[in-house]
A and B are shown apart, each in its own frame.
Chain A
């Protein structure tokens, strides 16, 4: 799919119209795409795809240069291959540099499929394979191709195509085409990663540079005004680099997280009051997303936002229990008070299991368990572990001593 480009539907000099068909769907490899029920137009140089009526009007449509195509195949659609071929598979060479932007930047596949609702028109297929074999683009240089004589791939590939199209029918032919596909994959991967490695090299430099500056800022704390430090930090954050001065775990878009934190705090106050001042983060996430309806928040974003609750002066904060469970807790909700009320409940009931407490106090079992552990940590309960499970009793060891 990454070989397609967006371009206005006009013919180049020397390019001729060959054939058209309608009700055509494009597949990226085996995956469906958004390009369905369109028209295709075959020229000597390219294959154009557009929404019905777009191509005659000369509007922007998808274009695939035929020099990418090195091999064609028909695929039958019906069960057991009945009902004639429905799709044309076009095996493509690697994307060339200098290509115009298209619908996809990268694609894991090296072939696309054209699916024809009404079956493949044999005339269309023949015209396509003829156009690929004819290589009209080699005879004259169309104005708008990125291909030049200097490109090394240009020189080598047409010969391969020729071999492929000639002996595609034998086992050797199949083997060759597989080999060619491997080579194409390899090439496109290295092309794709070329830019990435450069970026990574630069990123390393950028990070070390920013660290350098930040240590300098810290050394000369007195000389540089608070304003400068803040401004520098905001530059780094907007680059997506961790704030190296404070070493907080937050990344750029901190403004977004701050906004989200504010929203969470506004939204959850009432809810938390209702359910006893404490709620597991998973439940919070559900509540927040249910309230938002659309534009859902990812768990990670919520976690980051919750870490910022303190900075927005929210009446609640994120808390991590020793067991690893994360909860949102009202600041007014102190451990001592929780322990006190829990131990009262234990006294009333004789003993409590997490399940029982969760029913009585209307909280989740996880939270009930944490409450009991908290109570135990403060010496107001003692545990009884047996085959019947975990239960908590009033701490008579300390009470009756």
Chain B
């Protein structure tokens, strides 16, 4: 697991209580969202299960003995969802996908990469995008499959690419 540089807030006990004061709360949520994104990026994860998350180091600071409650995590994720940075996967809102970038941003990033590397009008498999040598230095390298498909679908909606199914493999054609 990659080393994470915890922000000062992480060792500040009030960080683990959702603040009632509006202005304070918005600052607090902002800091949390930043921290969650950084943490997931560093650990290459993109889903959070609220029921288990309370025990991960992200939400549980053993040193100062503070833990973010499940309701609080939900509050933060719902706030992130408003900005398109997270989305619940199940109806009971227990499992969440968190996007370090919004789906649009991901899509654009992939499209730019494709344009810059001459993949226009040609087909790539999703496996290539995620794990191919060509993308090793890209941010979307090793991106979660579900997130990748969603990003490409948002791109498809804009008419920039087309998703297609092979036998048991998925591919994408950029225009």
Instruction: Tell me, rounded to whole Å, the shortest Cβ–Cβ distance linking B9 to chain A.
Output: 8
Please state if B17 and A397 are interface contacts (CB–CB under 8 Å). Answer: no
Bound CA span A395–B31, Å: 14
Contact of A391 with B13 at beta-carbon distance under 8 Å, contacts A397-B27, A401-B27 already known: yes
Give the contacting residue for B21; candidates A376, A384, A385, A400; CB below 8 A. A376
Instruction: Give B1-24 interface residues, CB cut-off 8 Å to A.
Output: 8-9, 12-14, 16-17, 19-21, 23-24
Chain B interface residues toward A at CB < 8 A: 8-9, 12-14, 16-17, 19-21, 23-24, 27-28, 31, 65-66
Is A249's beta carbon under 8 Å from chain B?
Answer: no
Q: Closest 7 CB pairs between A and B?
A: A397-B27, A384-B13, A382-B14, A384-B14, A385-B17, A393-B14, A397-B24
Is A291's beta carbon under 8 Å from chain B?
Answer: no
Is A158's beta carbon under 8 Å from chain B?
Answer: no
The closest CB in chain A to the CB of B13 belongs to A384
Is A220's beta carbon under 8 Å from chain B?
Answer: no
Interface of B: prevailing SS: helix
The contact size tier of chain A is 10 to 19
Please state if A386 and B13 are interface contacts (CB–CB under 8 Å). Answer: yes
Please state if B17 and A384 are interface contacts (CB–CB under 8 Å). Answer: yes
Please state if B12 and A396 are interface contacts (CB–CB under 8 Å). Answer: yes
Bound CA span A369–B65, Å: 24
Given A382-B19, A398-B27; 6 other pairs, CB 8 A cutoff: A351-B13, A376-B20, A383-B14, A383-B19, A386-B16, A395-B21
Bound CA span A272–B67, Å: 41
Instruction: Tell me, rounded to whole Å, the shortest Cβ–Cβ distance linking B174 to chain A.
Output: 41
**Which of B9, B14, B27 counts the most A-chain CB atoms under 10 A from its CB?**
B14
**Which of A379, A382, A384, A391 counts the most B-chain CB atoms under 10 A from its CB?**
A382
Give the contacting residue for B24; candidates A351, A382, A385, A386; CB below 8 A. A382
Please state if A379 and B24 are interface contacts (CB–CB under 8 Å). Answer: yes
The closest CB in chain B to the CB of A382 belongs to B14
Set of chain B residues within 8 Å of A334, measured between Cβ atoms: none
Give the contacting residue for A395; candidates B13, B20, B24; CB below 8 A. B24
Instruction: Give A255-306 interface residues, CB cut-off 8 Å to B.
Output: none
